[in-house]
Amino acid sequence: MTVLDSFRLDGRVAVVTGGNRGLGEVFARALRDAGARVAIAARDQERSESVARELGATAVTTDVTDPASVAAMLAAVTAELGPVDVLVNNAGVCFHGAALEVPEEEWRAVWDVNVDGLWHCSRAVGAQMVERGAGVIVNIGSLSAMIVNRPQMQPAYNASKAAVHHLTRSLAAEWAPFGVRVNALAPGYVKTEMAPVDEPQFRRHWIEDTPMRRYALPEELGPSLVYLASDASSFMTGSVLVVDGGYSVY
């Protein structure tokens, strides 16, 4: 097998939560391009089906905050495509607001999706992988797990992504003996619906404080995701791959 062959995912089944928009859609496309059979697991079925038609993927209505919905998604994907080889825990939400002004419902919503949702999916799919003795989970973390973003405050999101990074390590340590690898991808500032990188009030801290003096385009994260999902990273588990233009070096 050549070096480039190790990045191929031919014949493998990949699930991307929140895979119908933003980075999730880019990840689904990248996995498809690498040869995987992709299932998009998200709440907006109409949008999922539209993206799935374009990619030749499968769309499964999924609410990651509901364990029963996650179990139904896994059953449907397994029945249609086969056992899951790659799980990308991408679904996430973020709200901006100072700590003393964060409504309880916003705090709860962030943790329900970013942490509990990832937990539900990892447990369900992880059980199948452990039983089979093989599988890869890639959790989408964030630069925000390692810094406090400026000028906006987002304590719930920051804390949730720090939890994602450490849960990644915990699952990696526990499941490595069973042939299951768990890593995280931590993007910096990327031009998506969730990150308004073009707004002037954010330029000073989001762009000028980045050594590369720019934000990333979503498509730049696809190759990193494929690396973590493929045999190219076969001796890598419990790691957080930071792709942030150098922001975290300061």
Exposure string over 37-59, b if 16+ CB within 10 A, otherwise e: bbbbbbbeeeebbebbeebebbb
> For residue range 102-133, what is the model confidence (pLDDT) as tens digits?
999 999 999 999 999 999 999 999 999 999 99
pTM, entire model: 0.96
Q: Determine phi and psi for 163, rounding to 5 degrees.
A: -65, -40
Element holding 236 (H helix, E strand): none
The domains of the chain, with CATH numbers, are 4-241 (3.40.50.720)
User: 215 catalytic, yes or no?
Assistant: no
H helices of the chain, in order, are 22-33, 45-55, 67-80, 104-111, 118-132, 155-175, 200-202, 222-229
Task: Tell me the pLDDT band of 197, cut-offs 50, 70 and 90.
Answer: confident
Instruction: Give CA 95 to chain center in angstroms.
Output: 18
For residue 81, what are its two tokens?
């495509």
Q: Which of 157, 189, 215, 227 is catalytic?
A: 157
Order the strands of the 240-243 sheet from edge to edge.
58-61, 37-42, 13-17, 86-89, 135-140, 180-187, 240-243
In the prediction, which pLDDT does 194 show? 75
In the prediction, which pLDDT does 201 show? 87
In the prediction, which pLDDT does 104 show? 98
Tell whether the model's pLDDT for residue 239 goes beyond 90.
yes
Tell whether the model's pLDDT for residue 55 goes beyond 90.
yes
In the prediction, which pLDDT does 193 show? 79
In the prediction, which pLDDT does 141 show? 98
Tell whether the model's pLDDT for residue 26 goes beyond 80.
yes
